[in-house]
Amino acid sequence: MNIVSTSCMVSAGKGRATATTLVIGSEKREEALLSRLRMGDEGAFDELVNKHHGSLVRMAMGYVDDREVAEEVVQDTWMAVIESLDRFEQRSSLRTWIFGILIHKAKDRGVREKRHTNFSAFESGEEDNEDSVEPSRFHQTGDLAGHWAFPPQPWDDQTPEKLLASQQAVNAMNSAIEALPRTIKEVLILRDIEGVDVKEVCATLNITETNLYVRLHRARERVRQVVEAYLEGTLQAV
- Residue 53's contacts (CB-CB under 8 Å, 6 or more residues apart) are 74
Mean pLDDT for the chain?
Answer: 76
CATH of domain 30-112: 1.10.1740.10
* Alpha-carbon span 137 to 159, nearest angstrom: 21
pLDDT tens, position by position, 7-59: 544 455 555 555 455 455 667 888 888 889 888 888 989 999 998 999 899 89
What confidence category does residue 166 fall into, taking pLDDT thresholds of 50, 70 and 90?
A: low
pTM: 0.60
**Domain boundaries 128-237, CATH class:** mainly alpha
Q: Distances in Å between the alpha carbon of 136 and those of 150, 152, 220?
A: 8, 13, 20
CA 39 to chain centre: 29
Identify whether the C-beta of residue 109 lies closer than 8 Å to the C-beta of residue 69: yes
Comparing 40-49, 169-178, 192-201, the range with the smallest average pLDDT is 169-178
Domain boundaries, the chain: 30-112, 128-237
Predicted confidence at residue 27, as pLDDT, reads: 76
Predicted confidence at residue 187, as pLDDT, reads: 94
